[in-house]
Amino acid sequence: MEKFKRLKNEGNDFVKMGEYEEAANKYSECMKLNTEECTVYTNRALCYLKLYKYEEAKQDCDHVLQIEDSNVKAFYRRALAYKGLQVRKRNMAGI
């Protein structure tokens, strides 16, 4: 559990510095240790949103909502992911 906390804190520090790819990697390492901790999924979803990886963000939020069906952050970030996917789809249609 100590390693999990250390990795999560490192991920949080990377987010504060705007290093979203590195933060996502730390949260992914956390998930190998505990697949039920929702905060690392919502945190990684935030990173994916910042990296324009909308499908990945949506998947992380979907996972959280299977565990906690009233997680507000997961709903909000999933909505942002859907919005990003729609914008991308519209932009691709114009090409």
* pLDDT single digits (tens) 46-73: 999 999 999 999 999 999 999 999 999 9
Number of domains in the chain: 1
Q: Which domain holds residue 57?
A: 1-93
CATH number of the structural domain spanning residue 47: 1.25.40.10
Residue 87 scores a pLDDT above 90: no
Return the pLDDT at 1: 82
Tokens 């990684």 correspond to what residue?
A: 44
Distance CA 23, CA 9 (A): 9
Return the pLDDT at 95: 56
How is 39-93 classified by DSSP, letter by letter? Answer: HHHHHHHHHHHHTT-HHHHHHHHHHHHHH-TT-HHHHHHHHHHHHHHHHHHHHHH
The average confidence (pLDDT) of the chain is 94
% of residues, the chain, pLDDT over 90: 85
Return the pLDDT at 94: 60
Return the pLDDT at 11: 98
* pLDDT single digits (tens) 27-46: 999 999 999 999 999 999 99
* Predicted model pTM: 0.91
Q: Give yes or no for a contact between 21 and 52, defined as CB atoms under 8 angstroms apart.
A: no
